[in-house]
């Protein structure tokens, strides 16, 4: 059975999705210290000859941190405006932290319509390859300020899987606030058991309770399964683990961290599902 460490070591092109819970404190505001810790670890991966694309949540919470007086407004226009403001703050933080290591970052804001339109999809792909060939780290997010129901992706789990497919990535890593996929919600049930490897996501849904989304994010465990399924269908393995761990990537590489690995069915590896 391939473990997370072997998958990371073998991969050259890695998409890392960082969820809102990994970028915010318990009050729901942007946590630059946590962001710096994750970015510094990502830089170590780059120095190990990995190409990295980041799919980052956190725009809404960064917007709230900037203009807190709007945070209770339910009007969609205010929510989209908060994302527009927060995106600037989020990218500013990424730029500053990466530049400490002389690494440039670039922002790509996309919608489902962009990914489903062949010409736009090609342009996005070409932009990604150009940036990465020049050593720039692309940071992808949904264009929340223009997304409406007809064209929105809706969550960054699925966006990360779509990005991994677009780029033909070797690996997708989903960072969340749980250690992986459990049979039950570990926040609510002490009898929950971690599922360490999945090769049949349909069977997995029958075995595991798919609990609701967290307060700070737009996705939940179901969206992570959807993302893993999409990535696996395109031959891309997926690792789901908890980002709220010191040195999360080095521990993953050394198989010292709990995680769930989702493996494409064409990989003849034993699974515990």
Closest listed residue to residue 241, CA positions, set 259, 214, 255: 259
At 118 the pLDDT is 95
Residue 242 lies in a domain: yes
Structural domain boundaries enclosing 78: 4-262
Residue 13 inside a domain? The answer is: yes
SS3 134: coil
Residue-level pLDDT at 228? 95
Q: How far apart are CA 218 and CA 259, in angstroms?
A: 21
**pLDDT surpasses 90 at 206:** no
User: Looking at residue 76, what is its pLDDT?
Assistant: 65
CA distance 61 to 58: 5
CATH number, domain containing residue 250: 3.40.1160.10
Please state the domain count of the chain: 1
- Stretch 225-254: mean pLDDT: 94
DSSP code per residue over 3-61: -HHHHHHH-SEEEEEE-GGGTB-TTSSB-HHHHHHHHHHHHHHHHTT-EEEEEE--HHH
Using one digit for the tens of pLDDT, what is the confidence trace for 74-99?
Answer: 666 667 777 777 778 788 889 999 99
Express each pLDDT in 36-86 by its tens digit.
Answer: 999 999 999 999 999 999 998 755 555 555 556 555 556 666 677 777 777
Paired with 194 in beta bridges are 182
DSSP 60-125: HHHHHHH-GGGTT---HHHHHHHHHHHHHHHHHHHHHHHHTTT--EEEEEE-HHHHHSHHHHHHHH
Tokens representing residue 72 in the block: 């209770």
pLDDT per position as a tens digit, 191-204:
888 999 998 888 77
């Amino acid at each position: 059975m391939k473990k997370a460490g072997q998958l990371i070591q073998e991969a050259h092109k890695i998409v890392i999705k960082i969820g809102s819970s990994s970028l915010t404190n318990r009050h729901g505001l942007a946590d630059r210290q946590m962001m710096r810790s994750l970015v510094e670890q990502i830089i170590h991966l780059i120095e190990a000859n990995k190409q990295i694309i980041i799919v980052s949540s956190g725009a809404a919470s960064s917007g709230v941190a900037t203009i807190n007086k709007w945070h209770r407004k339910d009007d969609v226009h205010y929510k989209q405006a908060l994302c527009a403001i927060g995106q600037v703050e989020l990218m500013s933080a990424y730029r500053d932290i990466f530049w400490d290591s002389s690494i440039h970052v670039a922002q790509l804001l996309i919608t489902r319509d962009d990914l489903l339109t062949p010409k736009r999809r090609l342009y996005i792909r070409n932009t990604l390859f150009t940036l990465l060939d020049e050593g720039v780290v692309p940071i992808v997010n949904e264009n929340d300020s223009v997304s409406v129901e007809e064209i929105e992706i809706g969550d960054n789990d699925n966006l990360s899987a779509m990005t991994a497919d677009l780029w033909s990535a070797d690996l997708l890593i989903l960072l969340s606030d749980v250690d992986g996929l459990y049979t039950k919600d570990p926040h609510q049930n002490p009898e929950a058991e971690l599922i360490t490897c999945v090769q049949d996501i349909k069977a997995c849904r029958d075995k595991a309770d798919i609990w609701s989304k967290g307060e700070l994010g737009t996705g939940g465990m179901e969206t992570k399964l959807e993302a893993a399924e999409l990535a696996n269908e395109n031959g891309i393995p997926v690792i789901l683990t908890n980002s709220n761990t010191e040195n999360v990537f080095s521990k993953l590489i050394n198989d010292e961290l709990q995680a769930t690995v989702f493996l494409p069915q064409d990989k003849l590896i034993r699974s515990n599902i």
